[in-house]
Structure 1
Amino acid sequence: MLHNFPYSISRFLFTLSQQLTTSLISFYYIGLTILNINLTIGIILMVTFIR
């Protein structure tokens, strides 16, 4: 049990970092999508108001 302790800690840290990375990537893509939608709406509004 005692010599297995560092292995379990490293395994736990590895899974934790993997989950953090995936959540960060998904947050990044969600932010990009929201930004693209806002840009598209802004461009459409500008075009309609310029006309």
Structure 2
Amino acid sequence: MSSEVFAGADLSLGIRNATDQRYADPAGPAFVQEAVAREGRTLHARLSYQF
């Protein structure tokens, strides 16, 4: 989601893994564990300004 806050400034907000589901990626032979756990719910914001 992105919105122009004022002239030249944009604000964007986002969420990853909104349901906070636990999951993992399979690991290769270089890892001791069988899977690499991934992060849970992540919120992020960005404010950019062009001049």
More helix by share: 1
Q: Normalising by structure 2, what TM-score?
A: 0.19
**Higher radius of gyration, 1 or 2:** 1
Structure number with higher relative contact order (C-alpha < 8 Å, ≥ 6 residues apart): 2
- Give the TM-score, by structure 1 length: 0.19
